[in-house]
Structure 1
Amino acid sequence: MPKPSRPPWTIAVRLPLFVGVAVFLSAVGTTHLALYVMGRELDQEIAQMADVYIDSLAGAVLPALVRDDRVELQEVLERGLGLQRGVTDLGIVVTRPDGAPIARVGDPQGDPPWNRGGGNVAWTRTAGGATAWAQRELVADGEPIALIAAQLAFPEQVTRRNRVGIALTVADLVLAALAAALAMHFARRLIRPFAAVTAAIERAGSGRPEPLPPLDAAAAQDAEISRLVAAYNLMVERLRDRQELAARLEEQERAAVLGRLAATVAHEVRNPLAGMLTALDTIRRFGADAAAREHAVSLVERGLMQIEAVVRTTLATHREAAEPRPLSDADLEDLKVLVQPEARRRGVDLAWRVDLRGDVPTDAVRVRQIVLNLLLNAVTATRQGGRVTLEAGRRGDDLVIAVEDEAGGLPPELARRLGGDEGGAGTSQGLGISIAARLVESLAGRIEVEAGRSAGTRIVLRLPARREGAA
């Protein structure tokens, strides 16, 4: 499977870039906010200067307006034009409250935006912002008698404002760029240990876990980074321990499997060998008798076939043969000959009641293995003078085989082994029981343990008939 390509904008690139852009925008935004506040303060200062200017001008022209002396009014306006310092007045206009012109001096640009009503100063900047109109309503005896408006320009203030704004903007851009660069540098240094941990985790995921090298002095002072690196190195150490333990367990399991395989083969081969030795002894003693000789040779042949089937099945990892052989009465009768030497040595009687009513469609080799193991275990457990009984027959389509002993009850450990529990000590008796349980399971059958006569145990084996074509 191809390794996914790393995206060009990794977090090691995105995070420092994001920090740098955030610092830059923050610095620029802060400077622009300062410029805006400064501009508002300058506008208020200019408005206050205009307020003072228009108030002084209104006080000078009010007597002439009250006397309705237009010549004096014109002279006052001409004298007042250009007298204020710091303020450039471009023109002054005086009208009646209804807008009828009374006097006009200077060269104002356009007409004032008259704001009638109220005695306060009205302050209106032009569209370009270079000039502004200051307007005031003149009142005598509680009645408005005129409107006066002056168009003002503040070149010194505007020039100073523009110069300061340009200087602050340039300085802000330079300082913001330096701050962003420093922020990106420290962000990259801060994220470097995390990037190293990420790369180490990727190597560990590909099967090459390696501990991280010691941190530099700056990173080692950070408690969180130190804990992260220490936790990762501890994880790598534990992972290596687990790998070593898994390798040792795998080796032990391999040895255990090989030992179990050898024990199974030895156990299954030993059983038919006893009967074959008995048959050879019969040939040696009664070889002149054709019937006895033929029976003994047939028994040896079946025993060898049994051994060959066990070896073949074991080497094939317990796979069944392509065509299992059906079970006949002779297969179970042979088992009596195989078990007889062990029973005679222990002083145990054997009783056989077999009636299969023809061949049973099942796996004869495996059924013989199961029954032979159960019989040998029963003979081994039965006291001298006791009896072991084999009963075999059909219940409908099922094959039912019962092995009964007089051993005083099946030990709990062996009962658990019949149920498929593989725990406990690996004795020969327990090994035979375990083999029988596995073979019964492979034939889709079941084993039942019942109380037998004479305080013994009755083990009942129920196997379904093999369907045609079933493996």
Structure 2
Amino acid sequence: MARRFASSWPLTVKIPTLVAMLMVAVSVLVSQQVLSRLQATQEKHLQEMGNAYLDGLSSSLIPALLRHDVWEAFDTIDRAKGMYRGLAPAGTIVLDAQAMVLAASDPRAVPTGLSLPANVAARFPPGGGFLAEDDGSRAYLSRDLVFQDRTLGSVYASFDTSHLAAERREVLLTLIASNAFITLILAILGYLVVKRMVRPIRLLSDHLQQSASSDVVPVPAEFQAARGETGRLFRSYGRLVDAVRERGELAQRLADEQRLASLGRLASGMAHEINNPLGGLFNSLDTLKRHGDKPLVRKATIALLERGLGGIRDVVKTALVSYRTGGECRPLQPADLADLRLLMRPETERRAITLNWTSELADSVAVDATKIRQTFLNLLLNACAASPNGSVVLFSARQAGTALVASIDDSGPGLPAEAARFLTSPDEPRSPYEPEAGLGLWLVRRLVAEMSGEMEVETSALGGTRIVLRIPLREQETLSDVA
């Protein structure tokens, strides 16, 4: 949990935090070494002062031990305590050769003539030497009193070392305060330095995030002119932006060319569709010239001319509506789909393709009619281009709730995987421009995206590809405002 939380921190926080943690670790080690060295120095100094204290006592206590003079021993202890106030002697005990107490600075706790109490003897190191308590409040020192190679007794001394422990605590608090201050200053400096260092990376990251939701934007020229790795990074990003823009312009040009190519194919079919009734029209004119004086012939011929010219007018009208740019954004009518079917007739007749047409639209549908017609026409031309001669193409359109649902099935070998990903994945940047990928796919995806629609690519029951479109319905006010 902590690792996942820390991984979300920015670099401007991670690096100063790491520096602060390292500083704390170093401070702990340094403080421990300083305190250990200070304690060792204090104990060494205390031991030297204690030995000096015992040296002074020894020279004065030996005569009293030789004479077993208790009062002289008491007097020596009292005088020594006054002379070594800086050493802070807490207690002194003198034992004779039989290990009996001769004198003590506190005779009530350690009576004269008795052996040294076990609890008192346990505080001193065995065999003489120096010993300090763990809490630092007391230190103990003992020594045998020897005269002419004869042990006359021993002396035990304890010292108050609480002031030394207090000094170590003050040093510890000073170290903590100074290290905390230095760590805080270094963490702030580290934050400012890292923030300045990652500023170019953050700027580049902001541009990349902006590019993901809109057009790519180059960084300002002053950043690209910077020296070092930052400048090279920005210049590389600038070249990437130029390449992306060039590719977008190329994709737009290719889409326009594909649209014109599909229009050319459609124009060829229109020419065929118009040329068919022209022969009959000329024959009708010839009939009028020869037999125009006959009312029945004239009436029948004029009706034939009207139907032929009306058919040509319908073909031209539907073609113009399909490729009209701009203008009013009107809802889709059932007649629009009938026009599409009429536009596809030359292509299907030329390829002997059976176009099974199913439309359940009985009234207008609140979608952009122009964009829907262009989308359906491109997909139908693709389906016919992918299907072999004499095969079947299916078209179906219906309103399902708040969406227009349409499907187009072909009998071809199937849409390439790259083209399918391009149609169904909004984040797919590559557009399949290969001829076998079909015409107008880029235009189809763009039109569907503009209508907030979705596409699915499936396997058709005919053995080819089935493309399903779902276009959400819009309010009538929205359609009228788009114009």
TM-score (norm 2): 0.50
Picking from 184, 193, 202, the partner of 1:195 is 202
Post-superposition offset of 1:274: 1.9
Q: Which letter maps to 1:441?
A: V
Give 3-state SS (helix, strand or coil) of 1:211's partner.
coil
**Matching of residue 214 in structure 1 with residue 222 in structure 2:** yes
- Distance in 1 (alpha carbons) for counterparts of 2:241 and 2:347: 49
Post-superposition offset of 1:197: 1.9
Query: 1:223-302 alignment to 2 at 5 Å?
Result: 223-282=228-287, 284=289
Give 3-state SS (helix, strand or coil) of 1:214's partner.
helix
Structure 1, residues 203-245: CA drift from partner, whole Å, max 9, x if none? 544336133323499xx44x43233112111112112222332
Post-superposition offset of 1:21: 5.3
Post-superposition offset of 1:266: 2.0
| 1:311–1:119 Cα change, 3 Å | same
**Matching of residue 47 in structure 1 with residue 53 in structure 2:** no
- Distance in 2 (alpha carbons) for counterparts of 1:33 and 1:418: 76
**Matching of residue 148 in structure 1 with residue 124 in structure 2:** no
What residue number does 1:77 align with?
A: 77
Query: 1:245-394 alignment to 2 at 5 Å?
Result: 245-282=250-287, 284=289, 303-304=308-309, 306-307=311-312, 310-311=315-316, 314=319, 317=322, 369=346, 373=350
Identity %: 24
Alignment check: 8 A CA contact 2:266 2:343 kept: no
Structure 1, residues 254-273: CA drift from partner, whole Å, max 9, x if none? 44344444333222111222
- Distance in 2 (alpha carbons) for counterparts of 1:109 and 1:256: 118
Alignment check: 8 A CA contact 1:212 1:233 kept: no
Query: 1:454-465 alignment to 2 at 5 Å?
Result: none
- Distance in 2 (alpha carbons) for counterparts of 1:282 and 1:62: 165
Alignment check: 8 A CA contact 1:112 1:149 kept: no
**Matching of residue 103 in structure 1 with residue 110 in structure 2:** no
Aligned-residue Cα RMSD (Å) equals 5.7
| 1:112–1:260 Cα change, 3 Å | farther
| 1:276–1:62 Cα change, 3 Å | farther
What residue number does 1:87 align with?
A: 87
- Distance in 1 (alpha carbons) for counterparts of 2:315 and 2:203: 58
TM-score (norm 1): 0.51
| 1:255–1:368 Cα change, 3 Å | closer
| 1:228–1:116 Cα change, 3 Å | same
**Matching of residue 441 in structure 1 with residue 393 in structure 2:** yes
Where does the alignment leave 5 or more consecutive residues of structure 2 unmatched? Answer: 1-7, 111-118, 324-332, 353-380, 396-408, 413-461, 463-483
Q: How many residue pairs end up in the alignment?
A: 339
| 1:420–1:54 Cα change, 3 Å | same
- Distance in 2 (alpha carbons) for counterparts of 1:109 and 1:297: 148
Post-superposition offset of 1:277: 2.7
- Distance in 2 (alpha carbons) for counterparts of 1:100 and 1:186: 73
**Matching of residue 118 in structure 1 with residue 126 in structure 2:** yes
Alignment check: 8 A CA contact 1:90 1:106 kept: no
- Distance in 2 (alpha carbons) for counterparts of 1:190 and 1:133: 56
| 1:68–1:314 Cα change, 3 Å | farther
What residue number does 1:343 align with?
A: none
What residue number does 2:373 align with?
A: none
Q: Which letter maps to 1:148?
A: Y
What residue number does 2:430 align with?
A: none
| 1:152–1:372 Cα change, 3 Å | closer
Q: Which moved more, 1:29-38 or 1:313-322?
A: 313-322
Structure 1, residues 138-164: CA drift from partner, whole Å, max 9, x if none? 6999x9x87834123475x66876776
Q: Which letter maps to 1:104?
A: A
What residue number does 1:134 align with?
A: 140
Q: Which letter maps to 2:221?
A: P
- Distance in 2 (alpha carbons) for counterparts of 1:306 and 1:109: 134
| 1:65–1:27 Cα change, 3 Å | farther
- Distance in 2 (alpha carbons) for counterparts of 1:292 and 1:175: 113
- Distance in 1 (alpha carbons) for counterparts of 2:10 and 2:237: 24
Where does the alignment leave 5 or more consecutive residues of structure 1 unmatched? Answer: 1-10, 325-362, 376-416, 423-433, 448-462, 464-471
Give 3-state SS (helix, strand or coil) of 2:30's partner.
helix
| 1:152–1:26 Cα change, 3 Å | same
Give 3-state SS (helix, strand or coil) of 2:221's partner.
coil
Alignment check: 8 A CA contact 2:383 2:410 kept: no
Give 3-state SS (helix, strand or coil) of 1:441's partner.
strand
Q: Which letter maps to 1:132?
A: R
Structure 1, residues 352-378: CA drift from partner, whole Å, max 9, x if none? xxxxxxxxxxx9x79985786479xxx
Post-superposition offset of 1:76: 4.7
Alignment check: 8 A CA contact 2:132 2:139 kept: yes
Post-superposition offset of 1:132: 1.3
- Distance in 1 (alpha carbons) for counterparts of 2:165 and 2:382: 105
Structure 1, residues 168-222: CA drift from partner, whole Å, max 9, x if none? 66665665555444333322321222232233334544336133323499xx44x
Post-superposition offset of 1:120: 5.1
| 1:34–1:323 Cα change, 3 Å | closer
Post-superposition offset of 1:308: 5.3
- Distance in 1 (alpha carbons) for counterparts of 2:108 and 2:185: 48
